[in-house]
Structures are given as structure tokens and as C-alpha cells.
Amino acid sequence: MRKLIPAIVTASLLSTTASADVLGIYAGVGNWKPDFSGNIANNSDTSLNIGSDVDVDRDNQTGFYLAFEHPLPVIPNVMITQQDMASSGSGTFTGTFGNETFAGDINAEMDLSHQDYTLYYEILDNWVNLDLGLTARKFDGFAEVTDANDPATSDRESFDFTLPMLYGKARFDLPFTGLSVSAILNYISAGGNTVSDTSLILGYESSIGLGVEGGIRTFNLDVDDEDDFTTDLEFDGVFINLTYHF
């Protein structure tokens, strides 16, 4: 991290000619349908296994992004992203979660929704596009486990933390077609936490700025004792977005 961050800053200072020629706004909204798997624990050595102890519903998760690009050198572009990641399920669990002990059928809810605040620079801006920057990913959610036969036996644990992440996006435009192929990566590995979020995208943009994009997104969350939570979770599945560029 200490080497990569100065490299991004240096690259940004060298890339003023790659800045956007005019003001631009990019927006997208859509759905992601991921599979949930892995382990989550709170205040205990007992891990709740998603996919084994609990069969979590594979729900549609809504997300949107809004990016603002400008021609001013040195000053970074800005992007804000909101991603819903809430689901529920049921299963059988024997162990401790939070302040309660369970032995039998349970219902579980989990919300790992988050917001990204990204500052980035355009290193390349032609038919090959390259953006590099930093993201602050803010989680504000909860995990709740309830005894299916005794609803009074329940524990809801909330968490609220922010992780800094490296951000990179590469896009290749296919000339005269409106088609593009992109890859997006957010990544951090520090202090016992490793988070990676990768998207592979095929997109189309019309001459009036309306478009559509879809692909595969894989999100891995390996967090060690943040707000007393320890997780090793993976979410992966297909997504589709409607987009507009003006």
C-alpha cells in the first residue's frame, strides 16, 4: 500500500493530457443476483456457515453509481456507489452467536450493504481507458440469528466500519460499434483484512448516451475482528445495469 498509493499520485500528475475534455456525468442503476457462501462469527469462536448451517436466499440486490468527470488537471474525478446486499435464510445451527447460544433450527438475516466513495484519475482516455484511484467503502449493516422455535432467543449484532481500497478500471471501446469491454477492481489487504471486488463487463452505449451493461461480479470479504465481527464470505453472480452518459 505504501508503494502503490504514491504511484497512483505520480501517475495522476503525469496524466493531465488524459483528463476528460469536457464535463461528463455517468450514471447506472441495476440488479445483481449473487450466491452467498462462507463464514461469519461474532464474539465467539463458533462460525455460522452460509450455505451449510444456513441456506441464504439468492435475492436480487439493487445498486447504482454516479460519476462526475471534469477537465481540470490534478483534481480527481468523483464516483459514488450504493450497493444493497441484504438477504435471509434458515437452517440448523449449534453454537454461540453474539450473546445467545443456539442448538437447532434458526432463521438468519444479514445485511452487508455498503457505499463507495471513490476519487480517481484518468490515466488513459481514448479507445483504451484506464482509471486509477482510491475508494472508501463504508459498511453499515447487521447480522441477526433467531431460534426458529423460540423467537425470544435472538441476537442482532450491528457493525459500522470503513475500509480504504485501491481502485482501478480498464475499458476497451470497440470502434464504431458502441460496444465496450471493461474490468473493475477494488482491493485492500492490510491489518488482517482482505477485501476484493472484481467485475467483468460487456457494455453498449447508444449515440444519445443511453446504454446497458452486464457481466459477472465477485466480492470476497475476509475481515478479522472489525466491530467484533470475523468473516470469510464470498458473493458472486451476474448483474445488469441501465446506464446513461451525458
Residue listed under C-alpha cell 463487463: 201
What per-residue confidence (pLDDT) applies to 226? 67
Q: How far from 176 is each of 73, 117, 126, 181, 236, CA to CA, in Å?
A: 29, 33, 13, 14, 32
Residue listed under C-alpha cell 475500509: 163
Residue 245 lies in a domain: no
- Tell me the pLDDT tens digit for each residue of 18-40: 555 578 899 999 999 999 889 88
Question: What's phi and psi for 7, nearest 5 deg?
Answer: -65, -40
CB atoms near residue 241 (< 10 Å): 20
Q: Which three cell numbers stand for residue 155?
A: 441476537
Say what the pTM is. Answer: 0.85
Per-residue pLDDT band at 202 (split at 50, 70, 90): very high
Assess whether pLDDT exceeds 60 at residue 14. Answer: no
- Count of structural domains, the chain: 1
Residue 222 lies in a domain: yes
Residue 246 lies in a domain: no
- Tell me the pLDDT tens digit for each residue of 114-129: 999 999 999 998 889 9
Residue 74 lies in a domain: yes
What per-residue confidence (pLDDT) applies to 45? 63
Mean pLDDT of the chain: 88
| CATH number for 88 | 2.40.128
Q: Which range, of 25-34, 37-46, 186-195, 203-212, averages the lowest pLDDT?
A: 37-46
Domain membership of residue 101 as a residue range: 4-240
